[in-house]
Chain A
Amino acid sequence: MIVNQFLVLAALLFSVGIYGVLVRRNAVAVLLSIELMLTAVNINLVAFGSLLQDALRGGHVFALFVITVAAAEVGIGLAIVILIFRNRSSANVDELDLMKW
């Protein structure tokens, strides 16, 4: 296994996630696409960690931190989406333009 195969796979997953973030209008679907992008980043981190095999295991440790932050992001994001839906009975991100100018 060489490191480039993991980099190409992660780039593919990341761009699929970007496409989803840009094209989906349902806020929950946008959050799911963001999870895909975070997974792509994790694959890169773990691949680098296993390539370097350094004493600090930086790649693996930072992948764990990314997982934790992703869990926090999903909790808050889903709470916000549910709250927005309760107040405006829509989760379409195109209709949420209150903070746009």
Chain B
Amino acid sequence: MSFGEWISQSANVVFLVISLVMLAAAVWVVVARNVVHAALWLALALAGSAALFLQLGAEFVAWTVVLVYIGAVVVLFLFGLMITRAPLLRDPVPLSHRRRWPAALVALAVFATITVSTTSFFGWGEDTLIGEGVTPTGALGDLLFNRFVIPFEAVSFVLLAALIGGIVLARKDPKE
């Protein structure tokens, strides 16, 4: 499929716009020195991923991203930064330290490796076209509570353990 054919479909134009917004937001997450700003840029990047999931027909996953990631995780970050008196807001070290270029090299190598291996495996042919089908939320719930019930319970146990662990870690030690 040539680029002209690819860009002539409206879904791909929407994809291109969303992915450029996501990439810009991701870069700002990494370079913003104020951590609160970085968390807000992360919310934008996650909203972009939710939009992509809607494009892919994964409606339940998309709204879970909105609820759990944007609604809970980013808010947890902001609460953690603002409620505690920790002056974590500013990064003490500027980004222009000596590890910058090795880190960029590693990131570039990872990108090249992943991209070359995956795109050459799947190719650009017609058989990799993603269908329009929407995954019904009812079917997903049916699977979660029948076929995937053991992993589901395990992951809920992990979440409960993390909740208790977070409370135990964050509360003040009564002996002090």
- A and B, one complex? yes
Is A96 an interface residue when CB atoms closer than 8 A count as contact? no
**A-B CB pair tally, cutoff 8 Å:** 256
Q: Which of A13-53 contact B (CB under 8 A)?
A: 13-20, 22-29, 31-33, 35-36, 39, 42-43, 46-47, 49-51, 53
Q: Which of B98-125 contact A (CB under 8 A)?
A: 99-100, 102-104, 106-108, 110-111, 114-115, 118-119, 122-124
Q: A-facing mask of B47-88, CB < 8 A → 1, else 0?
A: 001001101111011001100110011001100110010101
Q: Which residues of B contact A43 (CB under 8 A)?
A: 49, 52-53
Is B130 an interface residue when CB atoms closer than 8 A count as contact? yes
Q: How far in angstroms is the closest Cβ of chain A from B167?
A: 8
Most B CB atoms within 10 A — which of A13, A23, A92? A23
CB-based nearest B residue for A70: B73
- Report whether A4 and B30 are in contact in the complex, using a CB–CB cutoff of 8 Å: no
- Report whether A78 and B56 are in contact in the complex, using a CB–CB cutoff of 8 Å: no
List 7 additional A-B contacts (Cβ < 8 Å) besides A43-B53, A60-B61, A73-B162.
Answer: A1-B55, A11-B111, A13-B45, A15-B111, A60-B58, A68-B159, A83-B169
